[in-house]
A and B are shown apart, each in its own frame.
Chain A
Amino acid sequence: MGLLNRMAAIIAAKMNKLIGAAEDPRETLDYSYEKQLELLQNVKRGVAEVTTSKKRLELQKSTLLQNSEKLEDQAREAVRANREDLAKLALERKNLLSTQISGLDKEISTLASEQEKLVEAEKRLSTKIEVFRSKKETIKAQYSAAEAQVKISESVSGISEEMADVGMSIERAENKTQEMKARASALDELLDKGVLVDFSSSGDDIDRELAKISQKGGVESELARIKAEEKK
């Protein structure tokens, strides 16, 4: 069996669950409409969740960028103080951060495209729900239960397929967001523990070493820095 047949079978199964079986086919309309509104709420929640996750990653990225700039400064300062060993250490850490940052960039762009897709899905679904709502009222007003049957199955099937599709889109987006959330938490933990030290806050061993030098070197170090800057 091909992939397309399998997909059709999966969607059909999900549609059956959405349609339900009402005694009076006209009740099917109300039942479906209720489900549609529920789903629309879910899409909206999905969009909000993806947006929040994306913001969190962007925030982490900017923290890492700040740390990275700080390390760059430290390296430059170390070079000026003729402490190549410290400069190397700082640059090694900066490299580590660059890897993290480019990982975050990828995740942010994945979430951005999920966000875009869900926003589109929301638009499509709400247009269809609106069309369905007006059809539903017409059918209920004009047809007997028996006559309504055919009219109902057309529109209910059409919108149920959309719902099955949108439902799966939300689930896929949620799965992706979950994975990234787990990684974001791990990264936060690393930042907290100081493995990817937040160099801007308390001051680490490099800072302390540099502090020693600047204490020792005093005027000379200051002079060297200024000289180097003047040369640029």
Chain B
Amino acid sequence: MIIRIMGEGQYNVKSSNFDKLNKIDNKIVEYVQKGDEKRYKKGLADLIGMIHREGIKVDNEDLIESDVIVPPADMTLEEARQVFRGTGIFKG
């Protein structure tokens, strides 16, 4: 599957990693709801670290759509809240 890390580019990651990805994603949601900034940051860093480890960078010349979109590595807790609220630049 193709994963885009926003602000960074696309990675080709084995689809077998999907469950792991989902697990971290669920935890991140929990931390955002609780307002636990430290764990939220760690969760996001883990998510991105996993993609860097498991993935192969997609060539800049490829024009392909991603299966998964991962927020930028430096997204703040407040921005993550905006994502769920659909406000600010994260308005759909």
B-side contacts of A158, CB under 8 Å: 62-65
B-side contacts of A14, CB under 8 Å: 92
User: Quick one: CB contact mask for A151-163 with B, threshold 8 Å, 1 for yes?
Assistant: 0001101110110
Question: Among residues 103 to 134 in chain A, which have CB atoms less than 8 Å away from a CB atom of chain B?
Answer: 113, 117, 120-121, 123-124, 127-128, 131-132
Number of A residues, CB within 8 Å of B: 36
User: Quick one: CB contact mask for B60-92 with A, threshold 8 Å, 1 for yes?
Assistant: 111111101111101000001001101001111
Question: Among residues 8 to 33 in chain B, which have CB atoms less than 8 Å away from a CB atom of chain A?
Answer: 8-9, 21-22, 25-26, 28-29, 32
Q: Are A124 and B62 in contact (CB under 8 A)?
A: no
Q: Are A4 and B7 in contact (CB under 8 A)?
A: no
A112 to chain B, nearest CB (A): 13
Q: Which single member of B6, B26, B65, B74 contacts A7 (CB below 8 Å)?
A: B6
Number of B residues, CB within 8 Å of A: 33
Q: Are B92 and A10 in contact (CB under 8 A)?
A: yes
Most A CB contacts (10 A, CB to CB) among B25, B63, B86, B91 go to B63
Q: How far is the CA of A120 from the CA of B9 in the complex (A)?
A: 10
Q: Are B68 and A4 in contact (CB under 8 A)?
A: yes
Q: Are A3 and B65 in contact (CB under 8 A)?
A: no
Q: Are B22 and A171 in contact (CB under 8 A)?
A: no
Q: How far is the CA of A128 from the CA of B64 in the complex (A)?
A: 10
Instruction: Rank and list the top 10 A-B pairs by shortest CB-CB distance, nearest first.
Output: A158-B63, A13-B92, A2-B25, A7-B69, A127-B60, A171-B89, A8-B69, A157-B65, A169-B7, A155-B63
Measured CB to CB, the residues of A under 8 A from B are 2-4, 6-14, 113, 117, 120-121, 123-124, 127-128, 131-132, 135, 154-155, 157-159, 161-162, 165, 168-169, 171-172, 175
